[in-house]
Structure 1
Amino acid sequence: MYKKLFYTGTKAILAGAFCAGMLASCHKDNNPSPSNPNDTSQLSASLAEDSLKYLMYQIMQVTYGDGGRTGSTGLPTYFWYTSVPALDPFSSTYPNADTLLNVMKRYAINPATSAPYDHYSFLDRNGTLTNKLMNGVSSRTFAATNSDFGLEYAPVLAAANSNQVRLYVLYADKNSPAGKAGIDRGCEITSVNGTTSFTNTSSSLSFVYNAILKSTSTVTLGIKRADNTTFTTTLNPVGYDINPVLFDTVYTANNNTKVGYFGLYTFASVINDKGQATFTKTALDKVFARFASSGIKNLIVDLRYNGGGATTTAEYLDSAIAPSSAAGKTMYTYKYNDKLTANLKATGLTETVKFPVGTGGLALNNVFFITSSNTASASELTLNNLKPYVKVLLVGEKTYGKPVGFIDFNISAYNPSGSKKYLADLYAINFATHNAAGTGDYYTGIPVDKDAIDYVNVPWGSTVNDDNLKKIMNYINTGSFPTARAAQLSTETIGGLRTAIPNAKPLSSFNGMVDYRLSKEIGKRNF
């Protein structure tokens, strides 16, 4: 199924037809890279980079089916391929594939913003992201530059007009090293590798960011819990099954109706590359079983830090939340470029996703989503899909704005000896989505129905101090949101409640949506 790459001088040239399987073999196990990804004895770094540049360009701009062979009818996959002029991927102007990709992204301009549509496409060079999203596993086997202790934090000014910074945990995966150590939202990080004083300077903030989010070894953290008890822990970067559910509970409203609430920080797939249920599905099944047994009438989904992920998880959530009357009806539609659209049958690409039999069961009056500028892509897809079928209300701040998604193309080359070398996973925009009412194209974000402040030192589930939950419960109890009050400065300390420094939340999570089913289907096609 795979065709070899031969090499002439310093440039990679395809010999014969280049099969789709090579480009789209995105089925991964817990080691997404080859068994020895650092073995470059037979393939120099420059030759590997030339191969990656060439193959990436062919997939996006020429055809994914045969590598751009002369005479090809062409099936380019990039959503905005018509905006990109002919480029020479081997030009010295592009020292690496990332540079070439960044140039390609700048041509399609959104007239509403006068800025490029595409600030999303990227290369995953070690398969770490693919393994996380598709298999729901955080593995460091080949992720030397991508530490994952399973937590995110936010810097906060210690007081108004102060340069001193305090650090608060935004969330921690329950299965991660941080989660198992007892770290959770509401905790303050009081020391990082022995350093106890932090300032609002690039050097100090970079030190913390690199130690917690980019370290290749251990990190030692001093922690103060919300109840003021303290402890010190050393976290080791180890693999774990991702548990995207940060918190869940059931509240009782004033009229004695039940309200379900849960927070989700990522859309790791509910089904892995072997067709098996992931820990993500197990965790979500448990949450919705609890909600069903409690007879909830209102649901709150907290996606304030959720940058998206697999479309299958968005579909799972929509099927669990939508009314039973939605079964068999359109959930959302795909929009591809003109050439893929004209060849949907040949490519195996899907045009419409429908709600499955068995949809619903909760009979909800309202569905509330807590959102922020970090709420992106598959998260936005989830709430947008529900709008034609149930009353959806957004609280918090406007979403990120990413109505487009990826098909994962796994790019590999062959050494002269015939052994395969993994190069990267290409995530370049391949499709847009619209809901059943035809709504999409929210490139500047989806506005909220009620603004709310994110107090980052408030533990999960507090209807007293969490401004988002407080306003939602007011709506459930009274039928309306509370009247507006003067906005507080985001850097100000208000009665012990703290907000992050603007634009300084160091979220390292993925922003996007990936349809791995399309990757699998398109990989079967041989042209």
Structure 2
Amino acid sequence: MNVKHVLLFFVLFGFLSACHDKTVEPATESETDKWILEQMKYWYYWNDKIPANPNVSLEPEAFFESLLYKYNATTNPEGDRFSWIQESADELKAGLSGESKSTGMDYKLYYYPKGSSNVVGVVLYSLPDSPAAKAGIKRGDVFTGVNGQALTGANYSQLLNAEGVLTFSLGSITDDGVISESTVKKEVTPIVLQEDPVYFDTLFQYGSNKIGYIVYHQFFPSPNGSNSNQYDLKLDQVFANFKANNVNSLILDLRYNGGGYVSSSTNLASLIGKVTSNDIFYYKEYNSTVTPVLKKQFGEAYFYDKFKAKTQNIGSSLNHFIVLTSGNTASASELLINGLKPFMNVTLVGAKTYGKNVGSITISDDSKKIKWGLQPIVTKSLNSQHQSDYYVGFTPDFPVTESMKLYPYGNPKDPLLGEALYQIVGARVVRKMPQETARILENASEIESSITKKAGGSNMFYDK
């Protein structure tokens, strides 16, 4: 048995390979359950909480769930909210690298008006060259129906996840917070897509304030199946441009970033921090079973990651570092915030983050006898000062609510970006927006976001 560690930001992403005869028949449910139990007893962070006599007659997903140290907001707030199992290990690994079958747009769903069963979707963004983007669907668009049916609480999941062509009925939002239907329809067909997480960047200058702004959607270094570090290198190029333009303030938009690989979090933090390659980015704490094994095999250095030396680093030039956050900001995103706090001022603008200070690994069987993939929590994360108290999330320094009426990335009318610019410049760069956010949201209630349905959702912190 060997372990390939794929450090992801809050979901330690490793591949556990078990050695089996290649001609062996697929495992039975009983054999799968026994394999799951074996891996969990060894790797699971709370392995001392696993029931003494679990029911191995359960189907694999139910059996896996029966082993978990259950979270309870009141009685066990530091319990497990994040471990999961997936029937296909291959699909699990692909999803964690940004590859999935999708229209190419992410969205939030709301009941509108509040108290009704009517559902409205608001597009957060669409991926370049995706079916959604080619159909002209963009950030801020509103949809009220799919395939000729109005979205309701009873049918939205089935309609949005249907196979084949999806025809979206678009609507509009006025500045007064009124949502209305239109006659515009857009046809898209879901395909297998690889997301590029380095989504948008630009520069602002207000007086002596030279501000870099970057939108980063997920922490992964390369396309699925590649070791090219393509996306980490793209981040390097963005920061090289920031440095060449003498940026002295940075706004990092992680409001839709649910996490990803630790290696990419370390890379990004190393571009930002006032740090050296001798400084510790984070420590990882395992259970008492696996700790001595890893220590003997790899030594003490295995249990911490240092920052990298990056020629593109802008940390020494920054007067302000602001992170835009929401309830979807999780895991590797929070790891970056926590890891940088000992070295610089980190200002948060937006909403409270998700609260994930633990990491997972992907466990699979290379022989393919076991088809399932596991993503159990195996580690707890601490920064260089051994702080790890954000399991309830980071509270923003400047709370700002994102409206249902969205503006393009880089538009200072965006309430989160506008507030960040105000904190840097000391004055509003656009006329302060009216209370459209409050008016719209008073008449709506959020249901869910497609962000949480990505691999792991707000679960993501892997080890690579």
Structure-2 separation of matches of 1:230 and 1:256: 47
Tell me which amino acid in the other structure corresponds to 1:129.
Answer: L
* 1:342 alignment partner AA: P
Letter in 1 for 2:414: D
Instruction: Give the match's secondary structure for 1:296.
Output: coil
- Aligned to 1:352, which of 301, 304, 321? 304
Amino acid paired to 2:94: N
**TM-score, normalization by structure 1:** 0.73
Residue by residue over 1:59-115, the C-alpha shift from the partner in whole angstroms, topping out at 9 and shown as x without a partner, is: 111xxxxxxxxxxxxxx1110111223234523xx2x122122222135778x7435
| SS of residue matched to 2:396 | coil
Counterpart position of 1:240 = 193
TM-score w.r.t. length of structure 2: 0.82
Contact 1:26 1:410 survives alignment (8 Å)? no
Is 2:146 aligned against 1:219? no
CA contact (8 A) 1:411 1:426 kept: no
Comparing 267-276 and 437-446, the one that deviates more: 267-276
Query: What are the equivalent positions in structure 2 for 1:145-224 lying under 5 Å apart?
Result: 147-156=101-110, 158=112, 164-195=118-149, 197-198=150-151, 201-203=152-154, 207-212=155-160, 214-223=161-170
Contact 1:177 / 1:235 at 8 angstroms: preserved in 2?
Answer: yes
1:252 to 191, 202, 205: 205
Measure, in 1, the Cα distance between the counterparts of 2:127 and 2:462: 23
**2:387 & 2:223 partners in 1: Cα distance?**
27
Secondary structure of 1:90 counterpart:
coil
Verify the 8 A CA contact 1:79 1:429 in the aligned structure 2. yes
* Alpha-carbon distance in 2 for matches of 1:317, 1:174: 22
| Aligned equivalent of 1:504 | 448
State the 1:370 CA deviation. Answer: 1.0
1:333 lines up with 2:283 in the alignment: yes
Q: Is structure 2 residue 30 aligned with structure 1 residue 50? A: yes
Kindly state the Cα deviation for residue 256 of structure 1 after the two structures are TM-superposed.
3.4
Determine if contact 2:402/2:437 at 8 Å carries over to the other structure: no
| C-alpha contact 2:198 2:217 (8 A) present in aligned 1 | yes
Pairwise CA distance, 1:403: 0.4
User: Are residues 1:130 and 2:93 paired?
Assistant: yes
Report the counterpart of residue 214 of structure 2 in structure 1.
262
Amino acid at match of 1:262: I
Alignment correspondent of 1:524 = none
Cα offset, 1:56, TM superposition: 1.1
Q: Distance in 2 between matches of 1:511 and 1:305?
A: 10
Higher relative contact order (CA 8 A, sep 6+): 2
Output aligned runs, 1:251-290, within 5 Å: 251-253=204-206, 255-270=207-222, 275-278=227-230, 280-290=231-241
Partner of 1:368: 322
1:300 and 2:251 correspond: yes
Residue pair 1:151, 1:170 contacting (<8 A) in 2 also: yes
What is the CA-CA distance between 1:292 and the residue it aligns to?
A: 2.2
User: What is the CA–CA distance in structure 2 between the aligned matches of 1:331 and 1:368, rounded to whole Å?
Assistant: 18
One-letter amino acid matched to 2:415: D
Q: CA deviation at 1:462?
A: 5.4
Residues 316 and 247 of structure 1: CA distance in aligned 2, closer, same or farther (over 3 Å): same
Larger radius of gyration, structure 1 or 2?
1
Question: How many Å apart are 1:314 and its aligned residue?
Answer: 0.7
Which residue of structure 1 lines up, in the alignment, with residue 440 of structure 2? 493
Q: Name the counterpart of 1:444.
A: 392
SS state of the match for residue 405, structure 1?
strand
- Report if aligned partners of 1:217, 1:236 keep a CA contact under 8 Å in 2: yes
Residues 20-77 of structure 1, C-alpha deviations (whole Å, 9 max, x = no match)? 46xx6989xxxx9xxxxxxxx954xxx532222111110111xxxxxxxxxxxxxx11
Q: Which amino acid aligns with 2:377?
A: I
Aligned to 1:513: 460
Superposition deviation, residue 282 in structure 1? 4.7
* Cα deviation digits, residues 152-208 of structure 1 (max 9, x gap): 22234555776644321012222432234332211122441123x34xx521xxx33
State the secondary structure of the residue aligned to 1:504. strand
Q: Is the 8 Å Cα contact of residues 297 and 365 (structure 1) preserved in structure 2?
A: yes
Match of 2:28, SS state, is helix
Q: Does 1:99 align with 2:62?
A: yes
Residues 187 and 225, structure 1, Cα contact 8 Å, conserved in 2: yes
Contact 2:137 2:186 in 1 (8 A): no
Residues 409 and 427, structure 1, Cα contact 8 Å, conserved in 2: yes
Give me the CA root mean square deviation: 3.6
Give the counterpart letter for 1:308 in structure 2. Answer: G
Residue 337 of structure 2 aligns to a residue in which SS? Answer: helix
Q: Residues of 1 paired with 2:50 and 2:370: CA distance?
A: 27
Give me the whole-angstrom Cα distance separating, in 2, the residues matched to 1:152 and 1:209. 14
* 8 Å Cα contact 2:240-2:312 kept in structure 1: no
Q: Write the deviation string for residues 118-140 of structure 1: whole angstroms up to 9, x where unpaired.
A: 01100122232311334x4x25x
2:345 matched to which residue of 1? 391
Q: Which sections of structure 1, spanning at least 5 residues, go unmatched?
A: 1-18, 33-40, 62-75, 140-146, 414-419, 518-527
Match for residue 49 of structure 2 among 61, 83, 102: 83
Amino acid at match of 2:201: D
**In structure 2, distance between residues paired with 1:488 and 1:181:** 28
| SS at 2:318 equivalent | coil
AA of the residue aligned to 2:364: N
Give deviations 1:265-315, integer Å, cap 9, x for gaps. 22223486553223x335423432332232211111111121111111111
Q: Report the equivalent of 1:69.
A: none
Alpha carbons of 1:474 and 1:116: their partners in 2 closer, same or farther (altered >3 Å)? closer
Distance in 1 between the 2:282 and 2:113 partners? 46
Change (3 A) 1:328 1:488: same
- Is the Cα contact below 8 Å between 2:359 and 2:462 reproduced in 1? yes
Pairwise CA distance, 1:354: 0.6
* Comparing 389-398 and 356-365, the one that deviates more: 356-365
User: Is 1:117 the counterpart of 2:79 in the alignment?
Assistant: yes
Code of the residue aligned with 2:131 in structure 1: it is: P
Native 8 Å contact 2:330 2:459 kept in 1: yes
Alpha-carbon distance change, 217 to 272 in structure 1, aligned in 2, over 3 angstroms: closer
The letter of the residue matching 1:294 is N
C-alpha deviation, 1:479, in angstroms = 8.6
Distance 2:71 2:420 in 1: 39
Q: Which region of structure 1 is more displaced relative to structure 2, 449-458 or 404-413?
A: 404-413
AA at the equivalent of 2:459: G
Indicate how the Cα distance of structure 1 residues 337 and 488 shifts in structure 2: closer, same or farther if over 3 A, else same: farther
Aligned residues: 434
Structure 1 residues 336, 108: CA separation in 2 closer, same or farther (over 3 Å shift)? farther
Judging changes above 3 Å, is the alpha-carbon distance between structure 1 residues 89 and 54 closer, same or farther for their aligned structure 2 residues? Answer: farther
The offset of 1:431, in angstroms, is 0.6
Q: Distance in 2 between matches of 1:479 and 1:129?
A: 46
Match of 2:19 in 1: none
SS in 2 for 1:475: helix
